[in-house]
Amino acid sequence: MPLRFSLALALVLALAGCDGSTDGPLRPDSGMMSLPDSGGDVSETTYHGDLRPILAANCMTCHEEGGVAPFALETYEQAVEVAERMEEVTRDRIMPPFLADNSGECNTWSNHRGLTDDEIAVFEQWVLDGKLEGDPTTPDPERAVLPELPSVDLTLEMPTYAIDASEDDDYRCFVVETGLTEDQYVTGYDVHPGNVQRVHHVIVYNPIDADAVAAAEALDAEHGAVGDGYPCFGGPLVQAPPMVLWAPGAGATRFPRNTGVQVLAGIKQIIQVHYNNLVEDSPNEDRTIIELSTRESATPAYIYPLADGDLNLPPRMEEVVESNRTSFSFLPIPVRVWGAFPHMHTLGRSLSVEIHHSEGGDQCLIEVPRWDFNWQLAYWLDEPITITDTDAATITCRYNTMERDTEVNWGDGTEDEMCLNFVYVTP
Distance of alpha carbon 157 from alpha carbon 230, whole angstroms: 16
Any residues with CB less than 8 A from the CB of 207 and at least 6 apart, and which? 213, 216, 236, 238, 239, 240, 267, 268, 269, 270
Helix axes of 83-91 and 117-128: crossing angle, nearest 10 degrees? 150
Q: Is 348 exposed, middle or buried (0-12, 13-18, 19+ CB in 10 A)?
A: buried
DSSP string, 270-325: EEEEEEE---SS--SEE--EEEEEEES--EEEEEEEEE----EE-SS-S-EEEEEE
The whole-number pLDDT of residue 43 equals 62
User: Angle at Cα 350 formed by Cα 349 and Cα 356, nearest 5°?
Assistant: 155
Residue 43 is classified by DSSP as G
The single-letter DSSP state of residue 34 is P
Residue 275: pLDDT band with limits 50, 70, 90: very high
pLDDT over 70 at 179, yes or no = yes
Element (H, E) at 56: helix 52-58
3-state SS of 169-216 is EEEEEEEECCCCCCCEEEEEEEEECCCCCCEEEEEEECCCCHHHHHHH
Lowest mean pLDDT of 21-25, 101-105, 159-163, 324-328, name the range: 21-25
Query: Is residue 421 pLDDT above 90, yes or no?
Result: yes
Q: What is the dihedral of CA 295, 189, 157, 286, to 10 degrees?
A: 180
CA–CA separation, 338 and 342 (whole Å): 14
| Res. 38 pLDDT band, cuts 50 70 90 | very low
pLDDT (average), residues 73-91: 97
- Checking if the pLDDT of 33 tops 50, the result is no
> Rounded distance, CA 17 to CA 10, Å?
12
Mean pLDDT of the chain: 89
pLDDT at 26 over 70: no
Q: What's the Cα-to-Cα distance from 63 to each of 73, 85, 109, 277, 309, rounded to whole Å?
A: 6, 14, 24, 18, 38
pLDDT bucket at 399, cuts 50 / 70 / 90: very high
Give 187-245 pLDDT, tens digit per residue: 999 999 999 888 989 999 999 999 999 999 999 999 978 788 999 998 999 999 999 99
Nearest partner of 136 among 72, 52, 60, judged by Cα = 52
Is residue 49 predicted with pLDDT exceeding 90? yes
pLDDT tops 60 at residue 281: yes
As a whole number of angstroms, the distance between CA 51 and CA 79 comes to 9
Say yes or no to pLDDT of 6 above 50: no
Residue range 69-91: mean pLDDT, rounded: 95
**Start-to-end Cα distance in the chain:** 31
